[in-house]
Amino acid sequence: MHALHAHRLICSLPLRCAAPLLGFVASLLGLCLPAVAVGQDDQAQLLLSDRCNLCHGPDAGSREADLRLDTAEGVFAESGSGEHDYIVVPGKLEESELMRRILTDDPSEKMPPPESNLQLSADEIETLRTWIADGAKWQTHWSFRPIQSPPIPPLPELAEAADSTPRRSRNPVDRFIAARLPQQGLTPTAPADRATLLRRLSYDLTGLPPSPEEVAAFLADDSPLAYQRQVDRLLASPRLGERLAVPWMDAARYADTYGYQSDVYREMWPWRDWVIDAFNASMPYDEFLVQQIAGDLIESPTRDSILATAFNRHHRQTNEGGSIEEEFHIEYVADRVNTLGTAVLGLTLECSRCHDHKYDPVSQQDYYQFFAFFNNIDEFGLYSHFTNAVPTPTLWLPTEQQTQQLDAAKAALQTALEQQRRVRQESHTRFETWLDDKHAEVADETLNTDLLADYRFDAADKNVIANQVEGGKPGTLATGAKLSDSDRQTGSPNAAGKHLSLTGEDSFKTPVGGDLSRDDPFTVAAWLKVDHRHERAVVWHRSRAWTDAGSRGIELLIEEGRLSAAVIHFWPGNAIRVVADDPLPVDRWAHVTVRYDGSSMAAGLQIFVDGTAVATTTIRDCLDRTANGGGVNEIAVGARFRDRGLAGGEVDELRIYGRDLSELEISALLDARRVSTTMAAAKDGDDAARAALWQLYCSAIDPECRQAAEQVQAARKKRSGIVDKIREVMVMEEMPEVRETFLLTRGAYDAPAERVEPTTPAFLPPMQDDWPQNRLGLAKWLVDRRNPLTARVAANRIWASLMGRGLVSTAEDFGRQGELPSHPQLLDWMAAQLHDYQWDVKRLMRTILLSHTYQQSSVADPESREIDPENRWYARGAARRLSVEMIRDGGLHAAGLLDNRIGGPPVKPYQPEGLWKEKSGAAYKRDVGVGSHRRSMYTIWKRTSPPPSMLIFDAPDREICVAKRQLTQTPLQALVLLNDEQAVESARGCAARALRDFDPQAADRDRAIVDRLCLLLLGRSADAREGEILHDVLQQQRAEFAANEAAAKEFLAVGDYQSSDGFEPIEFAAVTTLAQAIMNYAPCVRQN
């Protein structure tokens, strides 16, 4: 049974009779020129692909007998064995080894082998036999051939007819369609009646039914241009953008959560709003694609063009414990490749990730060369579990108010910095006075200024280490960490005594410094000794496990033997990191200091070894959000969860300061006498000593300089307070240095083979030499006229959105495993129209909508339905079930409840309780009021628990790209329309409108109510049979509710919406039930 027939079982109301066929249409068909179909060559090649390529196709890894049947060279090659010399001899069946192997009864020689379950039918064998007999012509697969606009089949001049159908028949669409019908024994149906046509048009262009007023206006308009005006009106509607956005959201795998185990919320809805706006603004389809693929790389990119690239970041992401970052990074890039392949090219590129494609000429090398285009953004394979950081790269989307606040905060910071420079410059006079008056002993005390913690590790009270700063907070030793006798012979007088010995698994922790932010200057210093060169080791940090929190915090690591300091919001794209050029000394004590000035710039982050700033390389220099958060408020030394600790390391004299010490002070941490000796030298006229001492004076002593520094810090914090509230969205941004990409053996992340460069598949036209070898070059290649796929796939999608099915029914696969196009010339004509008219989607839609093919009735005689049950040849209108969005939104719209606001954050309408909690432990807090009456496309989409009523009506879960929704028929669909709170509310709203708006002068009140409900929900009045049945339903429901008024009141209490009209409960409940019956009626949930 056809999927759409299921809804007919809900109600027994019959469809209206079809109008008689128009005689002139039948007479035209005989005058059409013969149609040009996909030839028998294509059909034969597809048979070879389907039945033979698994063992004799493009994939060399699975190819048997060194035989290829996917190329002309292979098909016409010498057989190498068997009774005949060649695989296929054109025109000579008896000399073709292929036919002998197909026809033989010997199971050891028969092809395909009996055990393969790929045997050919008699008709299929005849197709191959005819192909060889007629010369075995070999052509490139139909969709890989260049797009050429075919001639439009001509029609003779005709006299004008009163119903204007001959004029419509001159539409190119009708000519291509009519050219195929005689071969199938079909004739087109008459035009649909006006009410049906307007409802069809309204749903196709807005996703909503027409209002009673729109229906009345159209029926009253007797102009020959009446329908055309409706087409133009609806094409200009802002609802068009919403309607067209939904299937693109399916293709883009749009969702509001990350997916996988935790599946938490993420903000990607601004991209969805961009798509709506792009369609409403009639953005050319080539620009629509270019901006989404490479909007960040176009000349003078805008905020909107960068936002468009969020298309590439809709893939699922994980933060599950134990996940390997690189493994999932590879998965994300592969998802981008697969999505682009399906949504734009109509190719199953994913089939060549682990090996050469079994059917299409896409090699594994082609796949990874394509992969390289999307492998050059600064991303991490896991998102943060303990913070709400948005995985980089990101785009800020401030509100107008935030923009103004941020501009003001930046100006205030600039003023504070300029004031600080002036104050420091003016401090020279004060410095000279201070230098003359002060003694060295006073200067030594600066080492205690802003000292927050001083841990000597000489003794422990149980596991507690005292903080030498007065009133300071103590630190704690983990079980495995211990104090050992010190062998340190250098540095401060505290060298003798004990030090901290580390295992790599256990740490020393202090609450001091736990609240340091990216705007806070700080200095962390300690004596450090390592016994070997560490590939990676945590010296100290203020963060969670780096894989769990995107490395949020501050840290000092050893990486490949070198010290590495960082301040991080989300690694790697929002962080600063510097790495020492030279390795850390091994087997000796070194004094290591990290100094940071609060500037959020890598230049303000320095590493000192033994009192001297070491040369460093900047690894990352982009920090613009908080480094706090994640639930950790302490600095830990020597270990971090799920990371490599400082095994065998030794630490002593840990000091933490709340400012960036001067270089003189840092050197004094090794030997306090350096301040006094420097002061003495300064007094003797040593300029270098005076400069070093002046830096100390400004940092630790001069009140005005310190106050100016505090004002800068306060200005930075104010700026950060604004920035941290600004919405940001994942987008694309190229890395300055191109990341290397490798072919991955069997697709495994940890099995790289040869290096590859970004380029397009070899079997398609190449990129132009003057295009960049990045995503922008790829985008230009996609929309170039020489590309045979992009325009065909787009034209097919446009056709399917209006006609119910594509000319190529496998919208996701235009390759050799896909279906052949029913009307290849029409498809190419439409693709050429896109190229010729600047990729104008609305123009092509208008051409289709004005065709008789679109406007014809969906009612056909039984013989035509038997010939063409799926309406592949379009001899009748496209009848199909409405999408779930159309069903739900149409009900709300008819009820007058639909909130028509466009865009904005997702909403949470009715949903059974406990579904989210069962999947991820999260609570679903339903929106109350208008929030539950937004269009369905705005419903929050949680990948592990999508809206159940939408899934029941075949919405995809959006874990991957879906180019075409499936249509099913299940009893659950009827139950949703009867029992879902939203459906009940819609029925009640329709009932309220019917009771308010029915004609009070009508002779039959009940029939007037029935007609009003039908007009709201079906776009027309009830016919005689429908009216009779619905009248009986109304009477029956009145009687049932009259016998149980409590049930009526209980029924009317379902949901938030309550009518304020004060209707009598029994009547209101009865009419609401009548509305429910109509909402479950086949003509209501389907498009005729």
Per DSSP, the three-state class of 287 is helix
| Whether residue 45 is found in the same domain as residue 84 | yes
The residue out of 725, 743, 762 marking a domain boundary is 725
CA gap 670, 479 in Å, rounded: 30
Question: How large is the average pLDDT for residues 790-814?
Answer: 98
Whether 926 is in a domain gets the answer no
Whether 919 is in a domain gets the answer no
| Whether residue 483 is found in the same domain as residue 445 | no
Least confident of 1-10, 222-231, 607-616, 893-902: 1-10
Least confident of 132-141, 253-262, 324-333, 438-447: 438-447
| Whether residue 563 is found in the same domain as residue 540 | yes
| Whether residue 333 is found in the same domain as residue 420 | no
895-904 pLDDT per residue, tens: 999 999 999 9
744 phi and psi angles, rounded to 5 deg: -100, 120
Q: Residue 832 has which token pair?
A: 């050429």
Q: What pLDDT does residue 3 have?
A: 32
| H or E element at residue 279 | helix 269-280
**Residue spans of alpha helices (H) in 850-883:** 852-855, 862-867
Whether 767 is in a domain gets the answer yes
Three-class HEC string of 527-543: EEECCCCCCEEEEEEEC
CA gap 839, 794 in Å, rounded: 10
Least confident of 40-44, 301-305, 796-800: 40-44
pTM value is 0.91
How many DSSP H helices and E strands does the chain contain? 38, 23
**Distance set, CA 488 to CA 481, 484, 608, 846 (Å):** 19, 11, 19, 84
Q: What pLDDT does residue 124 have?
A: 86
The residue out of 141, 174, 191 marking a domain boundary is 141
**Distance set, CA 7 to CA 1077, 1082, 1085 (Å):** 12, 5, 8
DSSP 151: P
Q: Cα torsion for 740, 745, 748, 753, to the nearest 10°?
A: -30
The residue out of 725, 743, 764 marking a domain boundary is 725
Whether 445 is in a domain gets the answer yes
Residues 6+ apart with CB under 8 A from 1048: 1041, 1065, 1066, 1068, 1069, 1070
CA gap 100, 404 in Å, rounded: 80
Question: Which residues face 651 on adjacent strands?
Answer: 500, 528
Other Cβ atoms within 10 Å of 494 Cβ, number: 18
Whether 849 is in a domain gets the answer no
Q: Is the pLDDT of residue 156 over 90?
A: no
| H or E element at residue 429 | helix 400-437
974-1023 pLDDT per residue, tens: 999 999 999 999 999 999 999 999 888 888 999 999 999 999 999 999 99
Least confident of 167-176, 475-484, 809-818, 1021-1030: 167-176
Residue 513 identity (one-letter amino acid): G
Q: Is the pLDDT of residue 29 over 50?
A: no
**Distance set, CA 754 to CA 51, 435, 773, 905 (Å):** 32, 65, 19, 44
Domain count, the chain: 5
Residue 1009 identity (one-letter amino acid): I
| Whether residue 517 is found in the same domain as residue 604 | yes
Give the domain range for residue 414.
399-450+672-725
| Whether residue 504 is found in the same domain as residue 467 | yes
What is the Rg, in whole angstroms, of the alpha carbon atoms belonging to the chain? 37
| H or E element at residue 654 | strand 650-657
CA gap 470, 482 in Å, rounded: 24
**Sole residue written with tokens 């008699």:** 122
| Whether residue 613 is found in the same domain as residue 466 | yes
Whether 382 is in a domain gets the answer yes
Per DSSP, the three-state class of 823 is coil
The model's confidence at residue 69, banded by pLDDT at 50, 70 and 90, is: confident
635 phi and psi angles, rounded to 5 deg: -95, 130
Whether 856 is in a domain gets the answer no
Q: Is the pLDDT of residue 224 over 60?
A: yes
| H or E element at residue 695 | helix 687-696
CB 250 within 8 A of CB 223: no
Residues 6+ apart with CB under 8 A from 840: 282, 284, 285, 834
| Whether residue 410 is found in the same domain as residue 441 | yes
Whether 1015 is in a domain gets the answer yes
Per DSSP, the three-state class of 600 is coil
CA gap 55, 72 in Å, rounded: 16
| Whether residue 604 is found in the same domain as residue 462 | yes
| Whether residue 472 is found in the same domain as residue 607 | yes
| Whether residue 371 is found in the same domain as residue 519 | no
Longest dimension (CA), the chain: 116
CB 89 within 8 A of CB 97: no
Least confident of 72-81, 506-515, 860-869, 956-965: 72-81
**Sole residue written with tokens 């700063």:** 469
| Whether residue 627 is found in the same domain as residue 616 | yes
Average pLDDT of the chain is 91
Q: Identify the CATH number of the domain in which residue 496 sits.
A: 2.60.120.200
Q: What pLDDT does residue 8 have?
A: 30
